[in-house]
Amino acid sequence: MSGSGKRKRDDGEEAEMEAIVWQTPANPPEPRDYIFRNGRRYVRPYYFEFISHAKKRWAGKTIVDLFAEEFKGRSYDYYVSAVKCGRIRVDDKMVHTSYVVQSSQKISHFLHRHEPPVLAGDVLVLQNEADILTVYKPASVPVHPCGQYRKNTVVGILQAEHGLAPLYPVHRLDRLVSGLLIFAKSADKADFLRQQVEARLLQKEYIAKVIGVFPEKEVVIDANICYNAREGRSFVEINGSCIDKAFKGKTACTKFTRINTNGKYSLVSCKLVTGRTHQAIL
């Protein structure tokens, strides 16, 4: 009985993975959006509505020409197909491919989203106060919607599984890093806490597990970091120059102190003197 029951649940999960739903920014993440399998958290595929309002320079263009000229990442034929099947709409209505856009009209583009999976670890709520929330972020989960991630984020999971929204990140952790996160429950409180971080009244400390015996004495690393925002990647300067010549490095200082070692691995305290993008994982 238990074996056949397990098979039915797996079949149901397959059906859920294949089912595609239509969503707008007003649709919050829900528990049923997630599927857990083999230690990973998946999101059911969905079409998400990206909304814009027609600028003055868009007026007088056909809907297809507008998209082909303004959003060159997709082919002309794609936009023709998207208009015909209703993935591109004007004022929430289907239109024909020769439809002429007018200024200020609402234009919707429903794009297929198939979010990458993340590890299935829980986002643990550690302290829930009137205006501040402290949680544990597992590795592999982004803090907030970005790139391909919207629901598979700390913010999305907290909204779906704990009903906590809106939340305002006070600081961030890189996707691959686990640790404590502080959220404010209002924009004003978030601004106040961010000012404390910038004034160094609040400090962040990372714990890293490294291979080998780390030196007993404190190690200080000063290495400029170059950040490519377009690609979301960072580089360390080598011999005073960045790997990507188009980007100029910013000073980054990190202090490392060994906590303990077993001869094979070491636990190391990493204190960021500066706070550059991706400094924690470089």
Catalytically annotated residues: 174
Report the C-alpha gap between 24 and 67 in whole angstroms. Answer: 20
Task: Identify the burial level of 19 via C-beta atoms within 10 angstroms of its C-beta, where 0-12 means exposed, 13-18 middle and 19 or more buried.
Answer: exposed
For residue 239, give Cα distances in angstroms to 89, 95, 135, 275: 53, 58, 40, 22
- Tally Cβ neighbours within 10 Å of residue 96: 10
Q: What helix, strand, coil percent values describe the chain, rounded to 5?
A: 25, 35, 45
| Amino acid present at 24 | T
Residues 29, 150: Cα–Cα separation, whole Å: 9
Q: What are phi and psi of 31, to 5 degrees?
A: -55, -35
Helix (H) or strand (E) holding 238: none
Pair 163, 157: CB distance under 8 Å: no
